Amino acid sequence: MTTSSSSEPSTMATLFPNFRDQEVQSAVKNLLTYSLVILIVPLASMFLLKQFFFEGLLGVSANDALTYSAIIAVVLVHVVLGIWLFAATKQEDRKKRENKQD
Amino acid sequence: MSYDLETAERAAYAPFFGYMGAASAQIFTVLGAAYGTAKSAVGICSMGVMRPELIMKSVIPVIMAGIIGIYGLVVAMVLKGKVTSASAGYDLNKGFAHLAAGLTCGLCGLGAGYAIGIVGDAGVRGTAQQPRLFVGMILILIFSEVLGLYGMIVALILGTS
């Protein structure tokens, strides 16, 4: 329990004791980026592809355009998931190498 | 007094089944995805206490459960685009096909979400203690997610035929 105001840690530090840790910080940053990407990519690709690519450029009927863009959105989600998996395993490998060098 | 099949097939309530199909596709997949998210979050929280730097790996079950929800969203949108009023030529055959599509995607997603939740909970706890378990957990997660993908493929075929 800290009593003096000078040595009292900031609220951020009390909430996340290892927030300043380089490893944790990069993990959280990665997590935020990938989460935003995986939320936005399928929805944006579905509506933008339907509106501008299939209906605008190719002139497909609205129903078919929706089906095609739906399939592409699902495929894109899996591509992002694959990149996520790759990043997660790569991060672990890098850490292992650094530990070996020490 | 004969039963006119062709008139009966052009029923005014045919769109009801189509809309119920679109609704059930989304509702049931979200039930599964919510259970999967919550159940694997229990594991992630208990594991994050010890190994917070592994968060990128341990969140993968939650992402997979979210993808199950996206399957439902996609199928519901496709089905919704196909349902029209009965006077515009939407007969009972189409309505039942769309109800079948919605229920297939929804209930397959429900099952897949349950599987992802239980696998994610156990797998994330295990990965915290033995990192080599990660590949196995990912494989099991992919197999349980593919079950939901099967449902979505059948739903798209049923809905577009």
Average pLDDT over residues B51-71: 88
Average pLDDT over residues A21-43: 82
Q: Is residue A97 part of a domain?
A: yes
- With CB atoms and an 8 Å threshold, state whether A23 touches B53: yes
Q: Is residue A78 part of a domain?
A: yes
Average pLDDT over residues A33-62: 84
Taking the C-alpha atoms of residue B75 and residue A64, their distance in angstroms, rounded to an integer, is 13
| Chain A CB contacts of B53 below 8 Å | 21, 23-24, 27, 95
| A1 DSSP assignment | -
Q: Is residue A9 part of a domain?
A: no
Radius of gyration of chain B (CA): 20
Domain count, chain A: 1
Chain B stretch 56-115, residues whose beta carbon is closer than 8 A to a beta carbon of chain A: 56-57, 59-60, 63-64, 66-67, 70-71, 74-75, 77-78, 81-82
pLDDT at A100: 65
Q: Is residue A46 part of a domain?
A: yes
Q: Is residue A73 part of a domain?
A: yes
Q: What is the 3-state secondary structure (H, E, C) of A24-59?
A: HHHHHHHHHHHHHHHHHHHHHHHHHHHHHHHHHHHC
pLDDT: is B12 or A18 the higher one?
A: B12
Burial state string for B100-136 with b = 16 or more CB within 10 A and e = fewer than 16 = bbbbbbbbbbbbbbbbbbbbbbbbbbbbbeeeebbee
Q: Which class for A3: exposed (0-12), middle (13-18), buried (19 or more C-beta within 10 A)?
A: exposed
Q: Residue A24 is nearest to which of B53, B63, B131, comparing CB atoms?
A: B53
For chain A, the straight-line distance linking the first and the last C-alpha, in angstroms and rounded, comes to: 35
Does residue B56 have a pLDDT over 90?
Answer: no
pTM reported for the whole predicted model: 0.83
State how far Cα B42 lies from the chain centre. Answer: 21
Q: Is residue A59 part of a domain?
A: yes
Average pLDDT over residues A72-77: 90
Does B55 contact chain A (CB < 8 Å)? Answer: yes
Does residue A77 have a pLDDT over 70?
Answer: yes
CB pairs under 8 A between A and B: 68
Sign of CA dihedral B127, B133, B138, B140: negative
- With CB atoms and an 8 Å threshold, state whether A73 touches B156: no
| pLDDT tens, position by position, B65-118 | 999 999 999 999 999 988 999 888 888 999 999 999 999 999 999 999 999 999
In the block, residue with structure tokens 């996609």: B74
Q: What is the 3-state secondary structure (H, E, C) of chain B?
A: CCCCHHHHHCCCCHHHHHHHHHHHHHHHHHHHHHHHHHHHHHHHHHHHCCCHHHHHHHCHHHHHHHHHHHHHHHHHHHHHHHCCCHHHCCCHHHHHHHHHHHHHHHHHHHHHHHHHHHHHHHHHHHHHHCCCHHHHHHHHHHHHHHHHHHHHHHHHHHHHC
**Which structural domains are found in chain B, ordered by start?**
13-81+90-159 (1.20.120.610)
Residue A47: give the domain boundaries. 21-101
Alpha carbons within 13 angstroms on the beta-carbon side of residue A30 total 23
Does residue B142 have a pLDDT over 80?
Answer: yes
Does residue B153 have a pLDDT over 80?
Answer: yes
| pLDDT tens, position by position, B17-49 | 999 999 999 999 999 999 999 999 999 999 888
